[in-house]
Structure 1
Amino acid sequence: MNDELYNKGMQTRRSVLGDAHVDKAEANKTDFDKDFQEYITNNAWGAVWSRPGLTKRERSLITIALLAALGHDEELAMHIRATKNTGATQDDVKEVLLHTAVYAGVPVANGAIKIAKKIFAEEKDQ
C-alpha cells in the first residue's frame, strides 16, 4: 500500500464526506471489503479527488451528475449530503440535475430531484 496516497485520500475523503461518515465506514469495514475500501481511498480519493485541476465543488457537481445519470441513488444521496462540505449549493445541485435531464433523461433527473429535495428538507429541519 502507498501510505502517502492513502493518507492524502483519507484526508480528502474526510473533508468531503465528513468524519462521521468515514468513521462509520471504517468501523464497518471487514476482511471482505477492506481491500475495496483501501482501493477507493487510494484511487478515488487520493489519486483523483485530491488532484489540483478541479475544485472540490466542481468535482462534487460532476459526481452528482454522473451518479444521477447512472441511477446510483445511495451514492447520489451521500454526495448530495456532502455538498455542505464541498461548497456546492442547492442552486448548483438544481442546475446540475436540470442539465442531467437534458443529457441523461427526465426520469433519471426526476428521481435524483426527489432524493435531493428529501435531503435538503432533512437538513433544513436539523
Structure 2
Amino acid sequence: MTERFADLPETRRRGLTKMEEVYGFTMSDGEGDFFGYTADHLFADIWTRPGLSDRDRRLLLIGLLAGTGAHDVMGIQVPAALQAGDLDAEALREIVIFLSHYAGWPVGARLNSLVEETIAKQR
C-alpha cells in the first residue's frame, strides 16, 4: 500500500495504486463521482479481476482506442505499456501493422508515430 493513500478507504487505495501501475505516473485522490467510479470501480475492481493479465487488458484497450479514434488516451496507454514492460518495442510495432489493417491506414499511421516517438524516448 502506498503511504500517501493510508488515510483513504481500502477500495480507493487499491484503485489509486492500480492507476499508478497502469498509467506509470503518480496519482492523487480526485473529486467527484466520475473520479470515484474510475478509481473505485474501474481500477480497484475491473483492472484487478482474475482472468486477464495487464498485458491482455492493454492489448484490448489499445485496439479499442485505435478503433474509436481515442488518440488522447492512446497517448497515455502506449507509453505506459512500454514503461511497465507489458508490451515491448517489437510488440508495439506489430500492433501498428495489425491494427492498420482493421482500424484503417490513417489510424495506423497516427499510432505508428506515437509508437516510434515512445520507443525513441525510452532509449
> TM-score normalized by structure 1?
0.77
Cα RMSD, aligned residues only? 1.9
Identical columns (%): 25
> Does the Cα contact within 8 Å between 1:18 and 1:82 map onto a contact in 2?
yes
> Does the Cα contact within 8 Å between 1:97 and 1:113 map onto a contact in 2?
yes
Aligned AA (2:111): A
Instruction: Find the counterpart in structure 1 of residue 21 from structure 2.
Output: 15
Verify: 1:77 aligned to 2:83, yes or no.
no
Q: Which runs of 4+ in 1 moved over 2 A?
A: 3-8
Aligned AA (1:65): G
**1:1-126 superposed matches below 5 A:** 3-20=9-26, 22-23=27-28, 26=29, 29=30, 31=31, 34-83=32-81, 84-124=83-123
CA distance in 2, matches of 1:80, 1:71: 14
CA distance in 1, matches of 2:37, 2:85: 22
> 1 or 2, which has the higher helix percentage?
1
Give the deviation of 1:86 after TM superposition: 4.6
**Residues 35-61 of structure 1, C-alpha deviations (whole Å, 9 max, x = no match):** 221111123212221111111111112
CA distance in 1, matches of 2:107, 2:45: 29
Q: Which runs of 5+ in 2 are unaligned?
A: 1-8
Aligned AA (2:21): S
CA distance in 2, matches of 1:52, 1:78: 24
> How many corresponding residue pairs?
114
CA distance in 1, matches of 2:61, 2:85: 12
Bigger relative contact order, structure 1 or 2 (CA pairs below 8 A, ≥6 apart): 1
> TM-score normalized by structure 2?
0.79
Change (3 A) 1:86 1:63: farther
